[in-house]
Structure 1
């Protein structure tokens, strides 16, 4: 047995153990940073900080407070909040109390929030603010098991006369009760953690899913303790790192990052406000961060649009530099694969040095200037965008996993990363490719099953532990995995040709700086079409430079002949690099971008294809009018 494998197998029963071990090992080291609102009108926001000791005290008080409320082992405590430091501390508090966390996105509507709380039989809801509290007040009669609502924002924790007595309390009040309990029973939290079993339920995460009602994924304690150890064993992070964490913590990708951090002990700056990312990066100056591909696409499109707005000469320089970056990224990665050295020919190095001074250095500075690597997950990153960032010195390590596998099943291995792949399996995770190309996984990170849905569990989880991911992939001879598409999303044309829409969509995102989302269609049809949603800020900037469109509302701009002609040029550019049967023969530009509010995107920004196809069915029908189907 290797030392690495031994460390993975000899892990503690839960991540709650790992958390307490971290507090004991480095009590005075900095653990978390968080934004603090300005105290005076017009003042500046600052950043506060917790040491591991301070974080541990707050977690213990939350855990003891929940125990004082009568919460029993494995009973569910739901968390409905945006990403903030108290989300993390409350989650660890739930785990240390012996209870299990049910995660709820703050953007989830009232009906679905009530469904998740009811299906999970949650006893307590920890709500961020008055808006989250209002959702459960509206559905109070449907939630007889919900005994208490704890509100993070003190000012919003206002009980109404119609609320049951003691139903609403603030997080501060819960912590006060917890501290009082700890004065009476100082070892109660450590005793609770000491009784945790590895197979005990720790987290119930409801898949946002692209179809149907969300399913509760049951993840026991061993999933998170395994993830904590396995992430540390990859060597990708170390105790000196500063992580910038903004991803939704209700999503498994965000949550797994909290497990890796407590094992390694580095600093994490936490702020879930997406509109603050650009402002925060130069302040936080992270050494690594995780993101979904849409963020990198927006950065790339924003830089391209800014260059274009600077005039023809500036845009030409950017296009040249982007081409150099892609070539440099491909060549250096290929050479590293062959020789172990990320080298490039002298001529390319000289061009790269010039492009670095003109473009790449400013881009790296915008990310804080210290970024060693980014981890990208949740969806596929277009390879051309990945190679661009690689050549610009911002190394995007793609990874892969699902809610059902605790998020981090694969990740690219540091300097040996390969753009276009999701890297190698984490230590302790097994993979095999089924006869039909489906990726199967087995290991300590795999779920117990779907909550209350044994038939659904049996559809994806075999008796010997192999989990069917639903993704199609290929393994290289040295163990790198490439995901080609979702099994259910593969298109078969009426001519019998198979097409992976994600591959075509990714290529379009790399050539068109104005695209936000694109959906390729063509199943049982004799040609492919596309619905294209544009990025409003980028397109608005472009429109401001054209007299005929200047000052027009976005709806008029996006419907104009000029915009159709603009996008048509990029579609032609895309088609020039595709096989005949992959080419986009017709397209329609959507009147607005896809969003979470209309139910077209999941909270992790994945496109819900069935919803979009339903919403814009008239446009799809219009494109195929008069053509023959299978």
Structure 2
């Protein structure tokens, strides 16, 4: 017997909403019945004098009155134009000038903006404030009928990355094919209670959290306050069965859940077991607490708006919760594909919807046509022709592939990064990989910026505080980005990192607007203006100090590292200034708890007893002996040199120049450029053992944490630096070594080159040499980057060069000149062909 797919038969006059004798909407603790919903919609309709397809705008926040207006417009056969309640005057003015509505529904919250925009536009329209419409006597009953199938039922504006927003004209049949596709798999049931989180000027939430639930006789819960606590309360109080959200929401919830699971070995083992068994009912029982945390009634979640990380989908599935992902655009009303319940394939956007055709173009672009395709852009036939070709195929701009009836979206054509060598990079794949490896990142994008593949990161400041990270950029670079670089081909390596303190620019449903990120980095996005500048003396003193130190405007909420760019040495200076001027010691804990200018100032206001501005006294800081970080022996150092000698004789040859300058007779600071992980070994292979025994290396503790490297660090002449610890202690340790007649090797760029280019030298080595009256011997290395760039697993065979330059006395020149001269001398030699 052949099982037939049920077909929905719609009469010529389409019934859309009828009285189901139950609650239609929850809002602010109040229940609105279907009877009240219909009565409200009919009352609103009675205020309208519309002919078919005349336009009426809805301009308000999510609330029951939004649906009254929506259904009232449809009841009068009008075209509903849903606009963003957060629109600015100029944006709203553009919208109404473009669509010239006969009516505009507003609330108290949007009234002023609407009135100002109307006055500026000169558009003749009637404003209806829903907060002033009396529904106390609304008692009309009946049925809300849908617009005619081919009538334009909706106009929704795309946000667009270039040019002005375009009004997408959707017919009721465009919407109907979505409803039929969902009904085929019984995605919605009359018993469902849907939590509406996203604003309904977008087709995705409008359809999934509004139109379909009402057509099915389900219940909608609106939230007045969009907070995590309000969401949790609503899930439990309203017994929510399904929730629609964007990937950012599911990724945030996933991160919190997995942190708890991974913190308990037993639960983690159970999770791994459930992952292998793939039994939904068993997972629900084992992870009952997770389900109870979501109110205990969830049937499934829905994700759309952009691609969901497959790991998130996979882990929710292991927990016994389906995240049904869909794919489409406003122009496709919105669905091209969606995932039926119990048929989740992580990484996939689901099955192609009935009534829709999809093909993949030669360049990988997803093309679609069918009943869901828009009528066109309102009053923009040229723009319509640009996206719908002569054969009726809509060009989505997304890349994808079809596998076993499932659609996989692999990227966005415009977002693909094409390098000068012709290689294509999908930034989303990189972002998802990195985000899955750390909880220190809230948001990130990968872009090509200044010709370098660059990660732009907005940190998770709560986690930064919890982990007591004081050097965010360096921690992310060495702990996260470098690990990613170690697992990927050279052309996909991230060569630069930018940390920002403000959220990345996004659409209203949380999709990052990549094209705006360069403007954010260049300060072209409007900055927050300082109001009510603090005037208490502690704030004024540190604000003046920081302004002089960094030569830039200081705002009260400026983050010491991210906004003002304080590096480790700057922090040492700042801490010393605070200690000498306020008599207060800023510990790592204090800096982590108080990372902004105003927070530090308030801390000093509470804890200082006096204020007397004094300059930083480096001599006083460095005179304190610190023996803790001094190496105990160099037994491994000499052994490693001997073991590696064949490697640097046969596989990698070293051409040495100026060796006479490496034979020093007094405490010396050796400073060189940092091209590769080979640099330290090249240096040790180039100097004699007597000098080597008397020479200490400054190195990051992160490089000497595990295995052989840990043993090497403990038994060689290596002084380890922790980038999240007070650099003053490291400087004191280095000063102690110089006082004992030792030499120090420093790579003052702070990190290996990511692109072969030299970076600015940090000046702390110059301060050390100056205060301890030590000589400086600059040295240059070239060829090492080409043989062993950052995170190549093994070096190539070839030749490297090292040159020791003549000794420089630190007595006569100021620190800034010493550092500048050393840098220029080395760079000139390194760059010379």
Report the TM-score range of the alignment, normalised by the length of the smaller protein: 0.7 to 0.9
Listed one character per residue, the Cα deviations across residues 145-166 of structure 1 (whole Å, up to 9, x for unaligned) are 342212223xxxxxxxxxxxxx
Check if 1:270 corresponds to 2:232. Answer: no
1:543 to 449, 465, 472: 465
Does structure 2 conserve the Cα–Cα contact (< 8 Å) formed by 1:492 and 1:523? Answer: no
Bigger shift: 111-120 or 254-263? 254-263
Partner SS for 1:370: coil
Q: Is structure 2 residue 385 aligned with structure 1 residue 386?
A: no
Using the TM superposition, give the Cα deviation of residue 53 of structure 1 relative to its aligned residue in structure 2, in angstroms.
2.4
Superposed CA RMSD in Å reads 3.2
Give the conservation status (yes or no) of the 8 Å contact 1:18–1:225: no
Q: TM-score, normalised by structure 1?
A: 0.76
Task: State whether structure 2 residue 169 is matched by structure 1 residue 218.
Answer: yes
Q: State the secondary structure of the residue aligned to 1:459.
A: helix
Q: 561-570 vs 246-255, which deviates more? A: 561-570
> In the alignment, which residue of structure 2 is the partner of 1:589?
499
Match of 1:161 in 2: none
CA distance in 1, matches of 2:347, 2:300: 16
CA gap of 1:13–1:128, structure 2 versus 1, over 3 A, is farther
Aligned equivalent of 1:65: 47
Q: 1:474–1:508: structure 2 CA closer, same or farther, 3 Å change rule?
A: same
How big is each residue's C-alpha offset from its partner over 1:186-222, in whole Å with a ceiling of 9 and x where there is no partner? Answer: 99x97xx58x432211111001223332110001122
Name the stretch that deviates more: 270-279 or 423-432. Answer: 270-279
Out of 121, 131, 134, the residue aligned to residue 172 of structure 1 is: 134
Report runs of 4+ in structure 1 exceeding 3 Å deviation.
1-6, 10-14, 142-146, 301-305, 320-329, 522-525, 572-580, 622-627
Counterpart selection for 2:255 from 284, 289, 301: 301
| 2:379 match: secondary structure | coil
1:555 counterpart residue number: none
- Please give the secondary structure, in 1, of the residue aligned with 2:519: helix
Kindly indicate whether residue 514 of structure 2 is the aligned counterpart of residue 514 of structure 1.
no
For residue 160 of structure 1, what is the aligned residue in structure 2?
Answer: none
Q: What is the CA deviation profile of residues 439-486 of structure 1, one whole-angstrom value per residue up to 9, with x for unaligned ones? A: 11112211100111100000111344321111100000x210000011
Superposed displacement of residue 531, structure 1: 0.4
Offset, 1:303: 4.2
Distance 1:408 1:18 in 2: 22
- The runs of 5 or more residues in structure 2 that have no matched partner are 524-561, 563-752, 759-833
User: Taking structure 1 as reference, are residues 475 and 523 closer, same or farther at Cα in structure 2, changes over 3 Å only?
Assistant: farther
Higher relative CO (Cα under 8 Å, sequence separation at least 6) belongs to: 1
Deviates more, 1:610-619 or 1:399-408: 610-619
Contact between 1:441 and 1:466, CA under 8 Å: does it hold in 2?
A: yes
Q: Which runs of 5+ in 1 are unaligned?
A: 36-46, 154-169, 308-313, 334-341, 550-559, 595-599
In structure 2, do the counterparts of structure 1 residues 280 and 215 end up closer, same or farther at CA, with 3 Å as the change threshold? same
Query: What secondary structure, in the 3-state scheme, does the structure 1 residue paired with 2:16 have?
Result: helix
1:201 aligns with 2:111: no
1:616/1:13 CA distance change after superposition, 3 Å: farther
Aligned to 1:148: 126
Q: Are residue 127 (structure 1) and residue 32 (structure 2) matched? A: no
Q: Does 1:51 align with 2:33?
A: yes
Match of 1:34 in 2: 27
Matches within 5 A, 1:455-494: 455-476=382-403, 478-494=404-420
Other structure's SS at 2:398 match: strand
Give the number of the structure whose residues are more often helix, by fraction: 1
Deviations 1:220-251 (A, max 9, x none): 12222232222212222222222112221111
For 1:409, what is the secondary structure of its paired residue? strand
Give the 3-state SS of the residue equivalent to 1:11 in structure 2.
coil
Matched, 1:317 2:227: no
Asked if the contact 1:232/1:264 (under 8 Å) is kept, the reply is: no
Match of 1:561 among 448, 471, 474: 471
- The equivalent residue for 1:337 is none
TM superposition shift of 1:58: 1.5
Q: Which moved more, 1:224-233 or 1:211-220?
A: 224-233
Distance 1:616 1:326, change over 3 A: farther
Determine which of 461, 471, 481 is the counterpart of 1:571.
481
Residue by residue, what CA displacement relative to the aligned partner does 1:264-291 show, whole Å, maximum 9, x if unpaired? 2222222253212133222222111111
Q: Secondary structure at the match of 2:306?
A: coil
The range that moved more, 283-292 or 294-303, is 294-303
- Alpha-carbon contact 1:209-1:602 (below 8 Å) kept: no
Q: Matched residue pairs, number?
A: 526
Q: Of residues 457, 460, 466 in structure 2, which corresponds to 1:532?
A: 457
Which whole-Å CA distance do the structure 2 matches of 1:485 and 1:73 have between them?
Answer: 40
Distance change in 2, residues 1:322/1:591 (3 Å): farther
What's the secondary structure of 1:592's corresponding residue?
coil
Pairing 1:441–2:368 present: yes
- Contact map agreement 1:13 1:222 (CA 8 A) in 2: no
Q: How far apart, in 2, do the equivalents of 1:216 and 1:322 lie?
A: 49
User: CA contact under 8 A between 2:399 and 2:410: conserved in structure 1?
Assistant: yes
Deviations 1:32-87 (A, max 9, x none): 2222xxxxxxxxxxx22233222222211111221xxx333212111111222221
Kept in 1: contact 2:280–2:318 (CA 8 A): no
CA distance in 2, matches of 1:364, 1:533: 30
Which of the residues 88, 92, 97 maps onto 1:118? 97
Aligned match of 1:496:
422
- Residue 204 of structure 1 aligns to a residue whose secondary structure is strand
The CA distance in 2 between the partners of 1:464 and 1:259, in whole Å, is 31
Distance 1:371 1:419 in 2: 19
Shift of 1:395: 1.6
> Cα–Cα, structure 1 residues 493 and 566, in superposed 2: closer, same or farther, change >3 Å?
closer
